[in-house]
Amino acid sequence: MMRTVYRKTAKGQAEIDTRAHRLLPRLRQALILVDGRKTDAELAKLILTEPEATLTTLLTDGFIEVLATAADAAPERKPEAAAAPAAAAPARKAVVSVDAIRREAVRFLNDQLGPAAESISIKIERVKTMPELRPLLVSAAQLLVNVRGADAAQTFTNRFLLDEGR
């Protein structure tokens, strides 16, 4: 099986900055997540609705492009084997760290958005599990794009949506 890494095209970055093409919210949220580092499998975990179709649409419409493809057979087995002992510890911490992620995300949003973060912050503070938290973090990233721009949203995404195993 091949893994594909996508990056935003100039058209994709322009859409994030200007909303000129008026993408559907699910496509725009997926476009925000494309960063040139995550594989299609990693993106599929973050894109909640029809991840393969969503990425295909963004690719076909020219908002993203293939950066790299690689087979996952040999290269991925070595990191998994080496990371297995390290992965076991964070898995136990994940339940505890949801509280920490929530607190840090709310703090980040309040720092960046002030009173505009109140509604999403309240929702984030109410959730108890990572599966409940993830869609709210994606929504928060979208809010950041709308208010503070793509850079703030990318910082938020890198910190809270990519670091789920903390």
Rounded CA-CA distance 129/22 in Å is 32
What confidence score (pLDDT) does residue 1 get?
60
CA distances from 84 to 78, 88, 95 (A): 10, 6, 18
Residue 15 CB neighbours (<10 A): 24
Cβ density class 95-116: b for 16+ within 10 Å, e for less: eebbeebbeebbebbeebbeeb
What confidence score (pLDDT) does residue 9 get?
94
What confidence score (pLDDT) does residue 163 get?
52
The residue among 67, 66, 62, 65 whose CA lies nearest residue 11 is 62
What confidence score (pLDDT) does residue 71 get?
67
What confidence score (pLDDT) does residue 110 get?
84
What confidence score (pLDDT) does residue 149 get?
86
Task: Report the predicted TM-score, pTM, of the whole model to 2 decimal places.
Answer: 0.45
Rounded CA-CA distance 111/115 in Å is 9
| 147-148-154 Cα angle (round to 5) | 120
What confidence score (pLDDT) does residue 146 get?
84
How does pLDDT run along the chain (166 residues), one tens digit per residue? 668 899 999 999 999 999 999 999 999 999 999 999 999 999 999 998 899 999 999 999 999 999 888 765 444 444 444 444 444 444 444 444 788 888 888 889 888 888 888 888 888 888 888 888 888 888 888 888 888 888 888 888 888 877 554 4
The residue among 140, 134, 80 whose CA lies nearest residue 110 is 140
Helix (H, G, I), strand (E, B) or coil at 68: strand
Listed by start position, the domains of the chain span: 2-71, 85-161
For tokens 């949220």, name the residue.
Answer: 29
